[in-house]
């Protein structure tokens, strides 16, 4: 963090110069506040300050502080120049003392007080005085003049002092307020919140942050953290297959075991073409290259999938007719999955929609989720979003559907 960039000099310099010039011109109010005895040392300090000789300015300001006849307004001018000069030489303890003095000396304007309070949040963070950073930050928030940087620093202060629960509570409230206002939370805000969740070993909390991260900053590492966890929690081949499809689509299916299992499940579900594509993708990505036995198994499985896919494709028209004649939608769901594997997504969507209309399905949530995926891959994004939002009944499949919504909106 560039602290010096946060403390721009124009307001401070103009305030000091205004007081000195008013005194020199004989302004009655200024003469009531300034002293002749301080005019010379203050002007000398001002010259060093203007020349950016901050150490020299501080030395002269120290002399001015010890001069007899100093008025409260003299001290105000000394504190203004001192505070900025101390920041410029990285003397934050000095800066904190002078900024705090400015808050209560009676001469600082309300607007400048707000700026000084925000400055004190930054200074105390640098000094590792986290309780004081939080105190000033919460004052700025309560009084309505906190900026985004101030809010981030308060959350960091909670985190750095080890109060992870307070950090999560504070940051999530802030994130919620930003998203409700249609604003995008900064990456630093989301990552520190996730880190606090990890410190608390709160998996649900970490998952919330990962979902936010993939929503606003869809990097593969965030998708991977989210989906690997979901895949481990998924029970049953149906749910695992749906997680694998999403992992494959966002590019985070990276382990040979996952490609092998995806191919095996697809074969068991009567979708050899989908098994073929999964294994081909894994081989193309080289995930089996470091294990000769795994590579040989994958190649054998691929040949079997290719042979079965070629046989089944020729029979698809007959299977479709049989599905049309069936009293329930299960046969149509199977045909729809088969077309999905052959990457004929419009036909897949038509069959899956037909299956849902007929009803009597073993797993309507799975069929609806696959329908949304087929619609998205066919280029019907709006239809897909509607379908994903209608997936109900299975918590894992509902979560996968919600993640497809996030992914679809980024497509």
* pLDDT tens digit sequence for 373-392: 999 999 999 999 999 999 99
Residues 96 and 243 grouped into a single domain: no
Q: What mean pLDDT do residues 349-369 have?
A: 97
Residues 96 and 236 in one domain: no
Residue 376: HSE in the Cβ half-sphere, 13 Å Cα cutoff: 23
Place of tokens 């705090």: 100
Q: What's the total number of domains in the chain?
A: 2
- pLDDT beyond 70 at 362: yes
| CATH at 377 | 1.25.40
- At 167-202, the pLDDT tens digits run 999 999 999 999 999 999 999 999 999 999 999 999
Q: Do residues 92 and 231 both lie within one domain?
A: no
Query: What is residue 132's three-state secondary structure?
Result: helix
pLDDT at 34: 60
Q: Which of 54, 82, 102 is the last residue of a domain?
A: 102
| Tens of pLDDT, residues 284-313 | 999 988 889 999 999 999 999 999 999 999
Asked if residue 94 and residue 239 are part of one domain, the reply reads: no
- Residue 137: inside a domain, yes or no? no
DSSP string, 316-346: HHHHHHHHHHSSSSHHHHHHHHHHHHTT-HH
Please check whether residues 364 and 236 belong to one and the same domain: yes
pLDDT single digits (tens) 143-156: 999 999 999 999 99
DSSP state of 3: G
Query: Are 238 and 372 part of one and the same domain?
Result: yes
Angle between the N-to-C axes of helices 164-180 and 148-160, in degrees from 0 to 180, rounded to the nearest 10: 160
Helix (H/G/I), strand (E/B), else coil: 174: helix
Separation of alpha carbons 201 and 322, rounded Å? 52
CA dihedral angle for residue 158, residue 161, residue 166, residue 167, rounded to 10 degrees: 50
Q: What is the pLDDT of residues 34-58, one digit of tens each?
A: 678 888 888 899 899 889 999 999 9
Q: Residues 227-245: pLDDT tens digits?
A: 998 998 899 999 999 999 9
Do 227 and 362 share a domain, yes or no?
yes
- Which of 102, 134, 164 is the last residue in one of the domains? 102
In a domain, 116, yes or no: no
Asked if the structure places residue 189 within a domain, the reply is: no
Do 379 and 360 meet the contact criterion of CB atoms below 8 Å apart?
A: no
Domain boundary (102, 135, 166) is at 102
296 in a structural domain: yes
Q: What is the 3-state secondary structure (H, E, C) of 236-288?
A: CHHHHHHHHHHHHHHCCCCCHHHHHHHHHHHHHCCCHHHHHHHHHHHHHCCCC
pTM of the model: 0.80
In a domain, 120, yes or no: no
| In a domain? residue 132 | no
What was the pLDDT predicted at 27?
36
Q: Are 301 and 316 in contact (CB under 8 A)?
A: no
pLDDT at 16: 34
* Same domain as 352, residue 225: yes
Helix extents (H) in 28-147: 28-33, 36-50, 54-65, 72-88, 92-104, 110-126, 130-142
In a domain, 39, yes or no: yes
Structural domain for 250, as ranges:
220-410
Residue 95 lies in a domain: yes
Distance CA 393, CA 84 (A): 61
């Amino acid at each position: 963090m560039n602290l010096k960039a946060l403390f721009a000099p124009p307001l401070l310099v103009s305030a000091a110069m205004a007081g000195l010039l008013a005194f020199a011109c004989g302004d009655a109010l200024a003469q009531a506040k300034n002293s002749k005895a301080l005019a010379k040392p203050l002007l000398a300090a001002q010259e060093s300050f203007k020349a950016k000789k901050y150490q020299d300015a501080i030395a002269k300001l120290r002399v001015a502080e010890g001069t007899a006849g100093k008025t409260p307004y003299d001290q105000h001018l000394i504190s203004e120049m001192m505070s900025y000069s101390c920041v410029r030489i990285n003397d934050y303890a000095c800066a904190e003392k002078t900024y705090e003095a400015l808050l209560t000396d009676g001469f600082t304007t309300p607007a400048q007080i707000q700026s000084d309070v925000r400055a004190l949040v930054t200074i105390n963070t640098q000094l590792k005085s986290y309780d004081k950073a939080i105190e000033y930050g919460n004052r700025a928030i309560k009084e309505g003049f906190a900026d985004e940087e101030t809010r981030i620093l308060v959350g960091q202060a909670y985190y750095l002092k080890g109060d992870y629960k307070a950090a999560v509570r504070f940051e999530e409230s802030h994130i919620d307020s930003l998203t409700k206002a249609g604003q995008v939370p900064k990456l630093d805000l989301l990552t520190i919140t996730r880190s606090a969740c990890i410190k608390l070993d709160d998996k649900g909390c970490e998952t919330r942050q990962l979902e936010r991260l993939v929503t606003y900053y869809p990097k593969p590492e965030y998708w991977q953290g989210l989906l690997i966890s979901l895949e481990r929690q998924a029970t049953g081949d149906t749910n695992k297959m749906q997680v694998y499809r999403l992992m494959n689509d966002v590019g985070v299916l990276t382990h040979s075991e996952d490609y092998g299992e995806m191919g095996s499940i697809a074969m068991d579900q009567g979708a050899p073409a989908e098994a073929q594509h999964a294994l081909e993708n894994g081989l193309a990505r080289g995930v089996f290259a470091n294990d000769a036995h795994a590579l040989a198994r994958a190649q054998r499985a691929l040949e079997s999938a290719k042979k079965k896919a070629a046989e089944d494709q020729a029979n698809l028209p007959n299977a479709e007719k049989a599905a049309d004649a069936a009293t329930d939608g299960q046969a149509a769901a199977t045909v729809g999955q088969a077309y999905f594997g052959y990457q004929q997504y419009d036909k897949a969507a038509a069959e899956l929609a037909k299956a849902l209309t007929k009803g009597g399905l073993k797993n309507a949530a799975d069929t609806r989720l696959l329908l949304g995926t087929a619609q998205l891959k066919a280029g019907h994004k709006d239809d897909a979003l509607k379908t994903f939002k209608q997936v109900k009944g299975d918590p894992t499949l509902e979560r996968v559907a919600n993640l497809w919504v996030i992914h679809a909106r980024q497509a």
